[in-house]
Chain A
Protein backbone atom coordinates (compact mmCIF):
# COMPACT_ATOMS: atom_id res chain seq x y z
CA UNK A 1 0.00 0.00 0.00
CA UNK A 2 1.73 3.16 -1.19
CA UNK A 3 0.55 6.76 -1.25
CA UNK A 4 0.69 7.68 -4.91
CA UNK A 5 -0.08 11.04 -6.48
CA UNK A 6 -0.85 10.98 -10.21
CA UNK A 7 -0.18 14.06 -12.33
CA UNK A 8 -0.82 14.59 -16.01
CA UNK A 9 -1.59 17.18 -18.63
CA UNK A 10 -4.63 15.09 -19.60
CA UNK A 11 -7.29 13.02 -17.85
CA UNK A 12 -5.85 9.82 -16.36
CA UNK A 13 -8.79 8.82 -14.21
CA UNK A 14 -8.75 5.34 -15.65
CA UNK A 15 -5.13 4.82 -14.59
CA UNK A 16 -6.30 5.64 -11.08
CA UNK A 17 -8.89 2.86 -11.39
CA UNK A 18 -6.13 0.37 -12.16
CA UNK A 19 -3.98 1.42 -9.22
CA UNK A 20 -6.45 2.12 -6.46
CA UNK A 21 -6.97 -1.45 -5.28
CA UNK A 22 -3.43 -1.67 -3.92
CA UNK A 23 -2.63 1.95 -3.21
CA UNK A 24 -3.95 5.17 -1.82
CA UNK A 25 -4.26 7.54 -4.77
CA UNK A 26 -4.36 11.29 -5.12
CA UNK A 27 -5.46 12.73 -8.46
CA UNK A 28 -6.02 16.50 -8.67
CA UNK A 29 -9.52 17.68 -9.53
CA UNK A 30 -10.02 19.32 -12.88
CA UNK A 31 -8.17 18.98 -16.12
CA UNK A 32 -4.57 19.68 -17.03
CA UNK A 33 -3.62 21.58 -13.89
CA UNK A 34 -0.54 19.57 -13.14
CA UNK A 35 1.93 22.45 -13.29
CA UNK A 36 -0.14 24.64 -10.92
CA UNK A 37 -0.49 21.67 -8.61
CA UNK A 38 3.32 21.33 -8.47
CA UNK A 39 4.18 25.03 -8.24
CA UNK A 40 1.56 25.98 -5.66
CA UNK A 41 3.01 24.81 -2.38
CA UNK A 42 -0.37 24.74 -0.67
CA UNK A 43 -2.01 22.51 -3.27
CA UNK A 44 -3.76 19.25 -2.50
CA UNK A 45 -0.71 17.41 -3.81
CA UNK A 46 1.44 18.56 -0.90
CA UNK A 47 -1.35 18.12 1.66
CA UNK A 48 -1.61 14.50 0.54
CA UNK A 49 2.09 13.88 1.37
CA UNK A 50 2.71 11.27 -1.34
CA UNK A 51 5.46 8.67 -1.17
CA UNK A 52 5.45 8.37 -4.93
CA UNK A 53 4.51 10.97 -7.54
CA UNK A 54 3.85 9.67 -11.04
CA UNK A 55 3.97 12.21 -13.87
CA UNK A 56 2.34 11.05 -17.08
CA UNK A 57 2.82 13.35 -20.09
CA UNK A 58 0.63 12.98 -23.18
CA UNK A 59 2.90 14.19 -25.95
CA UNK A 60 0.45 15.05 -28.69
CA UNK A 61 -1.52 17.34 -26.46
CA UNK A 62 1.62 19.09 -25.21
CA UNK A 63 3.02 19.56 -28.70
CA UNK A 64 -0.20 20.98 -30.07
CA UNK A 65 0.77 24.43 -28.77
CA UNK A 66 4.45 24.35 -29.78
CA UNK A 67 5.09 26.38 -32.92
CA UNK A 68 8.76 25.55 -33.43
CA UNK A 69 11.58 23.42 -32.05
CA UNK A 70 12.74 26.35 -29.90
CA UNK A 71 9.25 26.85 -28.62
CA UNK A 72 8.93 23.21 -27.62
CA UNK A 73 12.35 23.21 -25.98
CA UNK A 74 11.36 26.19 -23.83
CA UNK A 75 8.11 24.51 -22.86
CA UNK A 76 9.89 21.28 -21.92
CA UNK A 77 12.45 23.27 -19.91
CA UNK A 78 9.61 24.89 -17.99
CA UNK A 79 8.01 21.55 -17.26
CA UNK A 80 11.30 20.18 -15.96
CA UNK A 81 11.81 23.28 -13.89
CA UNK A 82 8.55 22.30 -12.21
CA UNK A 83 9.68 18.67 -11.79
CA UNK A 84 12.80 19.96 -10.12
CA UNK A 85 10.65 22.02 -7.74
CA UNK A 86 8.56 18.94 -7.08
CA UNK A 87 11.66 16.98 -6.04
CA UNK A 88 12.70 19.88 -3.78
CA UNK A 89 9.27 20.33 -2.22
CA UNK A 90 8.91 16.63 -1.50
CA UNK A 91 12.31 15.70 -0.14
CA UNK A 92 11.34 12.10 0.59
CA UNK A 93 9.16 11.09 -2.33
CA UNK A 94 10.20 9.15 -5.39
CA UNK A 95 9.17 10.91 -8.57
CA UNK A 96 8.43 8.78 -11.63
CA UNK A 97 8.60 10.74 -14.86
CA UNK A 98 7.00 9.23 -17.92
CA UNK A 99 8.93 9.23 -21.17
CA UNK A 100 7.30 11.11 -24.03
CA UNK A 101 5.56 9.54 -27.00
CA UNK A 102 4.28 11.70 -29.83
CA UNK A 103 2.30 10.14 -32.68
CA UNK A 104 3.11 11.53 -36.10
CA UNK A 105 -0.24 13.04 -36.89
CA UNK A 106 0.71 16.28 -38.65
CA UNK A 107 0.44 16.00 -42.39
CA UNK A 108 3.83 16.67 -43.89
CA UNK A 109 5.83 15.58 -46.96
CA UNK A 110 7.67 12.28 -46.61
CA UNK A 111 11.08 13.94 -46.76
CA UNK A 112 10.53 16.61 -44.12
CA UNK A 113 12.33 16.27 -40.83
CA UNK A 114 9.94 15.23 -38.07
CA UNK A 115 10.10 17.39 -34.97
CA UNK A 116 8.29 14.80 -32.84
CA UNK A 117 11.49 12.76 -32.59
CA UNK A 118 13.43 15.81 -31.47
CA UNK A 119 10.96 16.54 -28.66
CA UNK A 120 10.88 12.93 -27.50
CA UNK A 121 14.65 12.87 -27.24
CA UNK A 122 14.93 16.26 -25.60
CA UNK A 123 12.42 15.16 -22.96
CA UNK A 124 14.28 11.90 -22.41
CA UNK A 125 17.60 13.66 -21.91
CA UNK A 126 15.97 16.13 -19.51
CA UNK A 127 14.86 13.27 -17.23
CA UNK A 128 18.47 12.25 -16.74
CA UNK A 129 19.59 15.82 -16.22
CA UNK A 130 17.38 16.11 -13.16
CA UNK A 131 20.17 14.27 -11.43
CA UNK A 132 18.27 13.18 -8.36
CA UNK A 133 18.49 9.84 -6.62
CA UNK A 134 14.73 9.93 -6.33
CA UNK A 135 13.89 10.57 -9.96
CA UNK A 136 12.84 7.41 -11.79
CA UNK A 137 12.20 7.19 -15.53
CA UNK A 138 8.87 5.50 -16.30
CA UNK A 139 9.31 4.23 -19.82
CA UNK A 140 5.89 4.74 -21.39
CA UNK A 141 7.50 5.18 -24.81
CA UNK A 142 8.94 1.67 -24.53
CA UNK A 143 5.55 0.23 -23.57
CA UNK A 144 4.04 1.91 -26.63
CA UNK A 145 6.85 0.69 -28.89
CA UNK A 146 6.22 -2.83 -27.69
CA UNK A 147 2.43 -3.00 -27.87
CA UNK A 148 1.68 -0.35 -30.47
CA UNK A 149 -0.27 2.89 -30.39
CA UNK A 150 -3.45 1.19 -31.65
CA UNK A 151 -3.46 -0.88 -28.47
CA UNK A 152 -2.19 1.61 -25.89
CA UNK A 153 -4.23 4.63 -27.02
CA UNK A 154 -7.97 4.88 -27.50
CA UNK A 155 -9.57 7.44 -29.79
CA UNK A 156 -12.92 6.78 -28.26
CA UNK A 157 -11.78 7.66 -24.74
CA UNK A 158 -9.77 10.63 -25.99
CA UNK A 159 -12.70 12.28 -27.71
CA UNK A 160 -15.26 11.28 -25.10
CA UNK A 161 -13.27 12.08 -21.98
CA UNK A 162 -9.83 13.52 -22.85
CA UNK A 163 -8.34 10.23 -21.74
CA UNK A 164 -5.69 9.20 -24.27
CA UNK A 165 -4.89 5.73 -22.93
CA UNK A 166 -6.99 2.63 -23.54
CA UNK A 167 -7.82 0.28 -20.65
CA UNK A 168 -5.05 -2.03 -21.89
CA UNK A 169 -2.62 0.87 -22.08
CA UNK A 170 -3.47 1.83 -18.53
CA UNK A 171 -2.96 -1.76 -17.37
CA UNK A 172 0.53 -1.82 -18.88
CA UNK A 173 1.45 1.49 -17.30
CA UNK A 174 -0.01 0.45 -13.92
CA UNK A 175 1.95 -2.80 -14.03
CA UNK A 176 5.20 -0.95 -14.68
CA UNK A 177 4.47 1.47 -11.82
CA UNK A 178 3.78 -1.44 -9.44
CA UNK A 179 6.95 -3.22 -10.54
CA UNK A 180 9.10 -0.16 -9.84
CA UNK A 181 7.48 0.41 -6.44
CA UNK A 182 8.10 -3.24 -5.56
CA UNK A 183 11.76 -2.79 -6.51
CA UNK A 184 12.15 0.46 -4.57
CA UNK A 185 10.73 -1.14 -1.47
CA UNK A 186 13.58 -3.61 -1.57
CA UNK A 187 11.36 -6.64 -2.01
CA UNK A 188 13.50 -8.24 -4.65
CA UNK A 189 13.90 -11.98 -4.84
CA UNK A 190 17.43 -13.34 -4.77
CA UNK A 191 17.80 -16.55 -6.72
CA UNK A 192 16.46 -18.25 -9.86
CA UNK A 193 16.28 -22.04 -9.81
CA UNK A 194 16.53 -23.32 -13.38
CA UNK A 195 15.67 -26.58 -14.99
CA UNK A 196 17.95 -27.75 -17.85
CA UNK A 197 16.17 -29.95 -20.43
CA UNK A 198 13.72 -27.91 -22.53
CA UNK A 199 14.37 -24.87 -20.34
CA UNK A 200 18.01 -23.87 -20.88
CA UNK A 201 18.25 -25.93 -24.06
CA UNK A 202 15.86 -27.81 -26.32
CA UNK A 203 15.52 -31.57 -25.95
CA UNK A 204 16.75 -34.01 -23.32
CA UNK A 205 20.51 -34.29 -22.98
CA UNK A 206 20.40 -37.78 -21.52
CA UNK A 207 18.70 -39.03 -24.67
CA UNK A 208 19.68 -36.63 -27.45
CA UNK A 209 23.32 -36.26 -26.42
CA UNK A 210 25.55 -33.20 -26.50
CA UNK A 211 25.19 -32.76 -30.27
CA UNK A 212 21.48 -33.42 -30.25
CA UNK A 213 20.23 -30.71 -27.91
CA UNK A 214 18.68 -27.59 -29.36
CA UNK A 215 20.99 -24.67 -28.72
CA UNK A 216 22.49 -22.53 -31.46
CA UNK A 217 23.23 -19.05 -32.77
CA UNK A 218 20.27 -18.95 -35.18
CA UNK A 219 16.87 -20.48 -35.70
CA UNK A 220 15.18 -22.71 -33.13
CA UNK A 221 18.21 -23.21 -30.92
CA UNK A 222 18.59 -19.44 -30.58
CA UNK A 223 15.35 -19.28 -28.60
CA UNK A 224 17.20 -20.88 -25.70
CA UNK A 225 20.45 -19.06 -26.35
CA UNK A 226 18.76 -15.65 -26.28
CA UNK A 227 16.99 -16.50 -23.03
CA UNK A 228 20.35 -17.57 -21.57
CA UNK A 229 21.87 -14.22 -22.54
CA UNK A 230 19.21 -12.40 -20.53
CA UNK A 231 19.73 -14.78 -17.58
CA UNK A 232 23.43 -14.02 -17.73
CA UNK A 233 22.65 -10.29 -17.58
CA UNK A 234 20.48 -10.95 -14.54
CA UNK A 235 23.42 -12.74 -12.94
CA UNK A 236 25.60 -9.72 -13.77
CA UNK A 237 23.33 -7.40 -11.77
CA UNK A 238 23.43 -9.64 -8.73
CA UNK A 239 20.72 -12.26 -9.23
CA UNK A 240 21.89 -15.71 -8.18
CA UNK A 241 21.36 -18.57 -10.62
CA UNK A 242 21.26 -22.23 -9.70
CA UNK A 243 20.35 -25.45 -11.47
CA UNK A 244 17.86 -27.98 -10.17
CA UNK A 245 17.61 -30.76 -12.70
CA UNK A 246 16.73 -34.42 -12.81
CA UNK A 247 19.55 -35.81 -14.89
CA UNK A 248 22.73 -37.83 -14.76
CA UNK A 249 25.24 -35.34 -13.48
CA UNK A 250 27.88 -36.22 -16.07
CA UNK A 251 25.51 -35.77 -19.01
CA UNK A 252 24.26 -32.44 -17.72
CA UNK A 253 27.71 -31.10 -16.89
CA UNK A 254 28.83 -32.05 -20.41
CA UNK A 255 26.11 -29.81 -21.77
CA UNK A 256 27.04 -26.93 -19.46
CA UNK A 257 30.80 -27.19 -19.96
CA UNK A 258 31.19 -28.31 -23.54
CA UNK A 259 28.33 -27.13 -25.71
CA UNK A 260 29.69 -24.38 -27.98
CA UNK A 261 26.52 -22.29 -27.78
CA UNK A 262 26.05 -22.40 -24.01
CA UNK A 263 26.06 -18.85 -22.61
CA UNK A 264 25.83 -19.87 -18.97
CA UNK A 265 28.77 -21.91 -17.72
CA UNK A 266 29.58 -23.64 -14.46
CA UNK A 267 30.92 -20.47 -12.82
CA UNK A 268 27.72 -18.55 -13.46
CA UNK A 269 25.83 -20.77 -11.02
CA UNK A 270 25.99 -20.66 -7.24
CA UNK A 271 24.83 -24.25 -7.06
CA UNK A 272 24.32 -27.12 -9.50
CA UNK A 273 21.98 -29.67 -7.99
CA UNK A 274 21.74 -32.32 -10.65
CA UNK A 275 20.31 -35.48 -9.13
CA UNK A 276 17.10 -37.46 -8.78
CA UNK A 277 15.78 -35.84 -5.64
CA UNK A 278 12.64 -33.70 -5.84
CA UNK A 279 13.21 -30.12 -6.93
CA UNK A 280 11.67 -28.81 -3.74
CA UNK A 281 14.22 -30.74 -1.68
CA UNK A 282 17.00 -29.36 -3.83
CA UNK A 283 15.81 -25.80 -3.39
CA UNK A 284 15.68 -26.31 0.37
CA UNK A 285 19.24 -27.68 0.30
CA UNK A 286 20.50 -24.74 -1.72
CA UNK A 287 18.68 -22.25 0.50
CA UNK A 288 20.37 -23.73 3.53
CA UNK A 289 23.78 -23.80 1.90
CA UNK A 290 23.55 -20.14 0.87
CA UNK A 291 21.81 -19.04 4.04
CA UNK A 292 18.85 -17.46 2.22
CA UNK A 293 15.14 -18.13 2.61
CA UNK A 294 13.23 -20.39 0.24
CA UNK A 295 10.90 -17.41 -0.22
CA UNK A 296 13.64 -15.65 -2.17
CA UNK A 297 13.57 -18.25 -4.96
CA UNK A 298 11.95 -17.98 -8.38
CA UNK A 299 11.51 -21.27 -10.24
CA UNK A 300 11.65 -21.69 -14.02
CA UNK A 301 10.80 -25.09 -15.45
CA UNK A 302 9.03 -26.20 -18.65
CA UNK A 303 7.41 -29.18 -16.96
CA UNK A 304 3.94 -28.33 -15.60
CA UNK A 305 4.01 -31.27 -13.19
CA UNK A 306 7.22 -29.98 -11.60
CA UNK A 307 5.72 -26.50 -11.33
CA UNK A 308 2.58 -27.83 -9.65
CA UNK A 309 4.60 -29.91 -7.23
CA UNK A 310 6.70 -26.89 -6.32
CA UNK A 311 3.59 -24.80 -5.64
CA UNK A 312 2.28 -27.59 -3.43
CA UNK A 313 5.39 -28.31 -1.42
CA UNK A 314 7.00 -24.86 -1.24
CA UNK A 315 4.21 -22.33 -1.84
CA UNK A 316 6.57 -19.46 -0.92
CA UNK A 317 8.68 -20.12 -4.04
CA UNK A 318 7.54 -17.96 -6.97
CA UNK A 319 6.78 -20.25 -9.90
CA UNK A 320 6.99 -18.67 -13.35
CA UNK A 321 4.40 -19.53 -16.01
CA UNK A 322 6.46 -21.13 -18.75
CA UNK A 323 5.57 -19.67 -22.17
CA UNK A 324 3.27 -21.76 -24.40
CA UNK A 325 5.71 -21.30 -27.25
CA UNK A 326 9.45 -21.28 -26.54
CA UNK A 327 9.93 -18.35 -28.91
CA UNK A 328 8.63 -16.24 -25.99
CA UNK A 329 11.18 -17.60 -23.51
CA UNK A 330 13.44 -14.56 -23.73
CA UNK A 331 10.44 -12.29 -23.06
CA UNK A 332 9.51 -14.46 -20.10
CA UNK A 333 12.96 -13.86 -18.62
CA UNK A 334 12.66 -10.11 -19.20
CA UNK A 335 9.26 -10.14 -17.48
CA UNK A 336 10.79 -12.10 -14.58
CA UNK A 337 13.36 -9.34 -14.26
CA UNK A 338 10.69 -6.68 -14.05
CA UNK A 339 8.48 -8.60 -11.68
CA UNK A 340 10.96 -10.10 -9.25
CA UNK A 341 14.37 -8.53 -9.67
CA UNK A 342 13.83 -4.99 -10.93
CA UNK A 343 16.91 -3.03 -9.94
CA UNK A 344 16.98 0.73 -9.60
CA UNK A 345 20.71 1.13 -9.34
CA UNK A 346 23.39 -1.46 -8.76
CA UNK A 347 25.90 -1.45 -5.93
CA UNK A 348 29.34 -3.08 -5.95
CA UNK A 349 27.98 -5.93 -3.84
CA UNK A 350 25.25 -6.69 -6.37
CA UNK A 351 27.84 -7.14 -9.09
CA UNK A 352 29.95 -9.61 -7.15
CA UNK A 353 27.21 -11.57 -5.51
CA UNK A 354 27.64 -14.84 -7.39
CA UNK A 355 31.31 -15.05 -6.43
CA UNK A 356 30.51 -14.31 -2.82
CA UNK A 357 27.91 -17.05 -2.59
CA UNK A 358 30.17 -19.55 -4.34
CA UNK A 359 32.80 -18.79 -1.69
CA UNK A 360 30.12 -19.44 0.92
CA UNK A 361 29.85 -22.98 -0.40
CA UNK A 362 33.63 -23.45 0.04
CA UNK A 363 33.42 -22.13 3.60
CA UNK A 364 30.71 -24.65 4.43
CA UNK A 365 33.14 -27.38 3.38
CA UNK A 366 35.93 -26.38 5.79
CA UNK A 367 33.34 -25.86 8.50
CA UNK A 368 32.69 -29.57 8.29
CA UNK A 369 36.41 -30.26 8.83
CA UNK A 370 36.94 -27.90 11.77
CA UNK A 371 36.34 -29.31 15.22
CA UNK A 372 35.44 -26.16 17.16
CA UNK A 373 34.10 -22.80 16.16
CA UNK A 374 37.37 -21.06 16.91
CA UNK A 375 39.27 -23.56 14.76
CA UNK A 376 36.89 -22.81 11.95
CA UNK A 377 37.22 -19.07 12.36
CA UNK A 378 41.01 -19.34 12.38
CA UNK A 379 40.97 -21.42 9.22
CA UNK A 380 38.88 -18.75 7.51
CA UNK A 381 41.56 -16.07 8.10
CA UNK A 382 38.97 -13.34 8.64
CA UNK A 383 39.82 -9.68 8.33
CA UNK A 384 37.44 -7.09 9.75
CA UNK A 385 37.48 -3.42 8.87
CA UNK A 386 35.23 -1.09 10.88
CA UNK A 387 34.93 2.58 9.99
CA UNK A 388 32.56 5.55 9.80
CA UNK A 389 30.22 5.75 6.80
CA UNK A 390 31.83 6.95 3.59
CA UNK A 391 29.84 8.67 0.83
CA UNK A 392 30.26 5.85 -1.66
CA UNK A 393 28.73 3.40 0.80
CA UNK A 394 25.50 5.34 1.22
CA UNK A 395 23.47 3.40 -1.39
CA UNK A 396 24.52 0.04 0.05
CA UNK A 397 23.77 1.08 3.63
CA UNK A 398 20.33 2.31 2.61
CA UNK A 399 19.73 -0.97 0.78
CA UNK A 400 20.80 -3.02 3.82
CA UNK A 401 18.49 -1.15 6.20
CA UNK A 402 15.63 -2.17 3.90
CA UNK A 403 16.42 -5.75 3.14
CA UNK A 404 18.04 -7.13 6.27
CA UNK A 405 15.47 -9.12 8.21
CA UNK A 406 17.14 -11.79 10.30
CA UNK A 407 20.08 -10.10 11.96
CA UNK A 408 18.40 -6.77 12.54
CA UNK A 409 17.75 -5.73 16.13
CA UNK A 410 15.34 -2.87 15.58
CA UNK A 411 14.45 -3.24 11.86
CA UNK A 412 14.17 0.51 11.31
CA UNK A 413 13.70 1.13 7.58
CA UNK A 414 15.28 4.50 6.88
CA UNK A 415 14.28 6.58 3.89
CA UNK A 416 17.18 8.12 2.02
CA UNK A 417 16.25 11.46 3.43
CA UNK A 418 16.27 10.22 7.02
CA UNK A 419 19.59 8.50 6.52
CA UNK A 420 21.01 11.61 4.92
CA UNK A 421 19.94 13.64 7.98
CA UNK A 422 21.44 11.16 10.40
CA UNK A 423 24.67 11.17 8.43
CA UNK A 424 24.96 14.93 8.85
CA UNK A 425 23.88 14.97 12.50
CA UNK A 426 26.90 15.13 14.82
CA UNK A 427 24.98 13.29 17.53
CA UNK A 428 24.87 10.20 15.34
CA UNK A 429 27.60 7.85 14.25
CA UNK A 430 27.08 5.44 11.40
CA UNK A 431 29.62 2.61 11.35
CA UNK A 432 30.08 0.25 8.45
CA UNK A 433 31.89 -3.05 8.59
CA UNK A 434 33.65 -4.83 5.74
CA UNK A 435 34.95 -8.34 6.06
CA UNK A 436 37.03 -10.58 3.89
CA UNK A 437 38.48 -14.01 4.33
CA UNK A 438 40.54 -16.62 2.55
CA UNK A 439 37.73 -17.26 0.09
CA UNK A 440 37.05 -13.72 -0.92
CA UNK A 441 35.65 -10.36 -0.10
CA UNK A 442 32.28 -10.27 1.69
CA UNK A 443 31.93 -6.54 1.11
CA UNK A 444 29.96 -4.24 3.37
CA UNK A 445 28.11 -6.64 5.66
CA UNK A 446 27.22 -4.80 8.82
CA UNK A 447 25.82 -1.41 9.78
CA UNK A 448 25.63 0.08 13.25
CA UNK A 449 23.96 3.42 13.95
CA UNK A 450 24.72 4.91 17.35
CA UNK A 451 22.87 7.89 18.77
CA UNK A 452 24.85 9.93 21.32
CA UNK A 453 21.95 10.97 23.54
CA UNK A 454 23.95 13.17 25.94
CA UNK A 455 27.53 13.66 27.23
CA UNK A 456 27.49 10.44 29.13
CA UNK A 457 25.28 8.01 27.27
CA UNK A 458 24.75 6.51 23.87
CA UNK A 459 22.13 4.29 22.33
CA UNK A 460 22.43 1.69 19.59
CA UNK A 461 19.60 2.64 17.26
CA UNK A 462 20.36 0.13 14.52
CA UNK A 463 22.53 -2.97 14.51
CA UNK A 464 22.19 -5.14 11.46
CA UNK A 465 24.30 -7.69 9.67
CA UNK A 466 24.02 -9.58 6.43
CA UNK A 467 23.18 -13.24 7.02
CA UNK A 468 26.13 -14.20 4.81
CA UNK A 469 28.53 -13.66 7.72
CA UNK A 470 26.36 -14.76 10.61
CA UNK A 471 27.88 -17.25 13.03
CA UNK A 472 31.40 -15.87 13.06
CA UNK A 473 31.11 -13.70 16.16
CA UNK A 474 31.92 -10.67 14.04
CA UNK A 475 29.12 -8.76 15.79
CA UNK A 476 30.95 -9.10 19.09
CA UNK A 477 34.16 -7.66 17.67
CA UNK A 478 32.23 -4.79 16.12
CA UNK A 479 30.31 -3.95 19.28
CA UNK A 480 33.39 -4.18 21.49
CA UNK A 481 35.38 -1.82 19.24
CA UNK A 482 32.54 0.68 19.13
CA UNK A 483 32.13 0.49 22.91
CA UNK A 484 35.86 1.11 23.43
CA UNK A 485 35.74 4.10 21.17
CA UNK A 486 32.69 5.57 22.95
CA UNK A 487 34.39 5.03 26.29
CA UNK A 488 37.41 6.97 25.05
CA UNK A 489 35.10 9.85 24.21
CA UNK A 490 33.86 9.96 27.79
CA UNK A 491 30.61 8.04 27.36
CA UNK A 492 29.74 6.06 30.48
CA UNK A 493 26.76 3.98 29.49
CA UNK A 494 25.37 2.35 26.35
CA UNK A 495 21.81 1.26 25.70
CA UNK A 496 20.38 -1.19 23.23
CA UNK A 497 16.99 -2.42 22.20
CA UNK A 498 15.56 -5.52 20.58
CA UNK A 499 12.27 -5.10 18.72
CA UNK A 500 10.66 -8.35 17.69
CA UNK A 501 9.60 -8.93 14.08
CA UNK A 502 8.46 -12.06 12.25
CA UNK A 503 11.98 -12.78 11.12
CA UNK A 504 14.53 -11.57 13.66
CA UNK A 505 14.27 -14.34 16.26
CA UNK A 506 17.94 -15.34 15.62
CA UNK A 507 19.08 -12.21 17.47
CA UNK A 508 16.55 -12.06 20.32
CA UNK A 509 19.29 -12.86 22.84
CA UNK A 510 21.93 -10.72 21.21
CA UNK A 511 22.34 -8.25 24.05
CA UNK A 512 22.24 -11.00 26.67
CA UNK A 513 25.15 -12.62 24.90
CA UNK A 514 26.92 -9.28 24.81
CA UNK A 515 26.63 -9.13 28.61
CA UNK A 516 24.13 -6.28 28.66
CA UNK A 517 21.71 -5.93 31.53
CA UNK A 518 18.01 -6.21 30.63
CA UNK A 519 16.06 -3.36 32.20
CA UNK A 520 12.69 -3.72 30.49
CA UNK A 521 10.90 -6.53 28.75
CA UNK A 522 7.49 -7.08 27.19
CA UNK A 523 6.12 -9.25 24.43
CA UNK A 524 7.67 -7.30 21.59
CA UNK A 525 10.59 -5.34 22.98
CA UNK A 526 13.52 -5.76 25.28
CA UNK A 527 15.60 -2.83 26.51
CA UNK A 528 19.14 -3.18 27.72
CA UNK A 529 21.98 -1.15 29.13
CA UNK A 530 25.61 -1.66 29.86
CA UNK A 531 28.16 0.20 31.90
CA UNK A 532 31.18 0.98 29.75
CA UNK A 533 33.74 0.66 32.53
CA UNK A 534 34.49 -2.92 31.55
CA UNK A 535 35.06 -3.95 27.96
CA UNK A 536 33.80 -6.95 26.05
CA UNK A 537 36.17 -9.85 25.65
CA UNK A 538 36.56 -11.23 22.16
CA UNK A 539 38.38 -14.31 21.00
CA UNK A 540 41.67 -13.89 19.21
CA UNK A 541 40.86 -15.86 16.13
CA UNK A 542 40.83 -13.15 13.50
CA UNK A 543 43.66 -12.44 11.13
CA UNK A 544 43.26 -8.69 11.30
CA UNK A 545 40.92 -6.15 12.91
CA UNK A 546 41.00 -2.53 11.88
CA UNK A 547 39.01 0.26 13.52
CA UNK A 548 38.79 3.88 12.43
CA UNK A 549 36.31 5.66 14.68
Chain B
Protein backbone atom coordinates (compact mmCIF):
# COMPACT_ATOMS: atom_id res chain seq x y z
CA UNK B 1 0.00 0.00 0.00
CA UNK B 2 2.78 2.35 0.98
CA UNK B 3 4.42 1.83 -2.39
CA UNK B 4 1.14 2.48 -4.20
CA UNK B 5 0.62 5.72 -2.28
CA UNK B 6 4.11 6.78 -3.24
CA UNK B 7 3.38 6.05 -6.86
CA UNK B 8 0.23 8.19 -6.76
CA UNK B 9 2.18 10.96 -5.04
CA UNK B 10 4.87 10.87 -7.72
CA UNK B 11 2.28 11.17 -10.49
CA UNK B 12 0.54 14.05 -8.75
CA UNK B 13 3.94 15.59 -7.97
CA UNK B 14 3.13 15.93 -4.29
CA UNK B 15 4.71 14.67 -1.09
CA UNK B 16 3.42 11.19 -0.21
CA UNK B 17 2.72 12.29 3.37
CA UNK B 18 -0.27 14.23 1.99
CA UNK B 19 -1.96 10.95 0.99
CA UNK B 20 -3.39 8.03 2.92
CA UNK B 21 -5.68 5.03 2.37
CA UNK B 22 -8.77 7.23 2.57
CA UNK B 23 -7.64 9.81 0.01
CA UNK B 24 -9.71 10.31 -3.10
CA UNK B 25 -10.37 12.75 -5.89
CA UNK B 26 -10.69 16.18 -4.29
CA UNK B 27 -8.96 15.27 -0.99
CA UNK B 28 -6.03 17.45 -1.96
CA UNK B 29 -5.93 20.35 -4.35
CA UNK B 30 -3.53 18.61 -6.75
CA UNK B 31 -5.81 15.61 -7.16
CA UNK B 32 -8.64 17.18 -9.13
CA UNK B 33 -10.74 15.53 -11.80
CA UNK B 34 -8.28 16.41 -14.55
CA UNK B 35 -5.26 15.12 -12.66
CA UNK B 36 -7.30 12.01 -11.94
CA UNK B 37 -7.48 11.19 -15.65
CA UNK B 38 -3.72 11.33 -15.95
CA UNK B 39 -3.38 9.26 -12.80
CA UNK B 40 -5.62 6.53 -14.19
CA UNK B 41 -3.56 6.25 -17.38
CA UNK B 42 -0.32 6.18 -15.40
CA UNK B 43 -1.70 3.41 -13.16
CA UNK B 44 -2.73 1.44 -16.23
CA UNK B 45 0.82 1.65 -17.58
CA UNK B 46 2.56 0.94 -14.32
CA UNK B 47 0.40 -1.96 -13.07
CA UNK B 48 -0.75 -3.34 -16.39
CA UNK B 49 -4.47 -3.00 -15.65
CA UNK B 50 -7.22 -1.55 -17.79
CA UNK B 51 -9.90 0.86 -16.69
CA UNK B 52 -12.54 1.35 -19.39
CA UNK B 53 -13.15 4.99 -20.35
CA UNK B 54 -16.70 4.86 -19.03
CA UNK B 55 -15.60 3.69 -15.60
CA UNK B 56 -12.83 6.15 -14.84
CA UNK B 57 -15.15 8.14 -12.58
CA UNK B 58 -15.96 5.10 -10.48
CA UNK B 59 -12.36 4.40 -9.55
CA UNK B 60 -12.11 7.64 -7.65
CA UNK B 61 -10.28 6.68 -4.46
CA UNK B 62 -7.06 5.08 -3.28
CA UNK B 63 -9.06 2.14 -1.90
CA UNK B 64 -10.85 1.36 -5.15
CA UNK B 65 -7.74 1.75 -7.27
CA UNK B 66 -5.74 -0.40 -4.87
CA UNK B 67 -8.37 -3.13 -4.96
CA UNK B 68 -8.15 -3.11 -8.74
CA UNK B 69 -4.40 -3.59 -8.89
CA UNK B 70 -4.53 -6.26 -6.18
CA UNK B 71 -7.21 -8.16 -8.07
CA UNK B 72 -4.83 -8.50 -10.96
Q: Which residues of A contact B (CB under 8 A)?
A: 11, 13-14, 17-18, 20-21, 154, 156-157, 159-161, 163, 166-168, 170
Contacts and interface: CB of A to CB of B under 8 A. Distances in A.
A13 B41 contact: no
B38 A167 contact: yes
Given A156-B41, A161-B33, 18 more contacts: A11-B34, A13-B34, A13-B35, A14-B34, A14-B35, A14-B37, A14-B38, A17-B11, A17-B13, A21-B13, A156-B37, A156-B53, A157-B37, A160-B37, A160-B56, A163-B34, A166-B41, A168-B45
Interface of B: 11-13, 30, 33-35, 37-38, 40-42, 45, 53, 56
A154 B56 CA distance: 14
Nearest to B14: A21
Contacts of B42: 167
B16 to A, nearest CB: 14
A154 B35 contact: no
A168 B45 CA distance: 10
Contacts of A166: 41
Contacts of A163: 34, 37-38
A11 B35 CA distance: 11
B53 A160 contact: yes
13 contacts: A13-B38, A14-B35, A17-B12, A17-B38, A18-B13, A157-B37, A160-B56, A161-B33, A161-B37, A163-B37, A163-B38, A166-B41, A167-B45
A338 B42 CA distance: 26
B64 to A, nearest CB: 17
A469 B5 CA distance: 55
Contacts of A13: 34-35, 38
Nearest to B34: A13
Contacts of A20: 13
A525 to B, nearest CB: 38
A17 B35 contact: yes
Nearest to A166: B41
A170 B34 CA distance: 14
Contacts of A170: 38
A167 B13 contact: no
A74 B33 CA distance: 36
B13 A157 contact: no
Contacts of A161: 33-34, 37
B37 to A, nearest CB: 4
A48 B34 CA distance: 22
Contact of A157 (B11, B30, B33, B38): B38
A18 B42 CA distance: 13
Contacts of B38: 13-14, 17, 157, 163, 167, 170
Nearest to B40: A156
Nearest to A15: B38
A167 B41 CA distance: 7
Contacts of A17: 11-13, 30, 35, 38
Nearest to B38: A14
B26 to A, nearest CB: 15
Contacts of B35: 13-14, 17
Q: Which 3 A-B pairs have the closest CB atoms?
A: A14-B38, A13-B34, A161-B37
Most buried by A among B12, B34, B38, B56: B38
Contacts of B33: 161
Contacts of B11: 17, 167
A398 to B, nearest CB: 33
A57 to B, nearest CB: 20
Contacts of B37: 14, 156-157, 160-161, 163
Nearest to B36: A161
